[in-house]
Amino acid sequence: MVIECKHVWDYISDYLDGSLPPETRALVQKHLDHCEICSAILDSTRNILVLTADDRVFELPVGFSDRLHQRLNAEMNKGVGDSS
């Protein structure tokens, strides 16, 4: 099974969480090994998560797709909503 960039983007937050099933994680890992775009997104996402955890204002780097942007916002809003 081969996964595409857009699938990797869906998995990135779970990948960073360590909550992906091992076989899915392996697929993502394999894709990241040869895809510079997704590796860059992974790095940026990791930085964003760090910034978010730190309660600071952040901006997504130029080049992020709108879809990924929305996805990340949804993830972050989920986390923020927990503390109501």
Rg over alpha carbons for the chain, rounded to the nearest Å, is 13
Give 3-state DSSP helix, strand, coil % of the chain, rounded to 5.
70, 0, 30
Taking the complex as a whole, the smallest distance from the CB of residue 51 to Zn ion amounts, in Å, to 23
Residues 31-50 that bind Zn ion (CB under 5 A): 35, 37-38
5 contributes a contact to Zn ion by CB under 5 A: yes
Taking the complex as a whole, the smallest distance from the CB of residue 83 to Zn ion amounts, in Å, to 33
d(CA 48, CA 76): 10
76 contributes a contact to Zn ion by CB under 5 A: no
Nearer to Zn ion, 5 or 76 (CB): 5
Place of tokens 């780097």: 61
Q: Do residues 49 and 15 lie in contact, with contact meaning Cβ atoms separated by under 8 Å?
A: no
Nearer to Zn ion, 12 or 38 (CB): 38
- Applying CB under 5 A, the residues found at the interface with Zn ion are 5, 35, 37-38
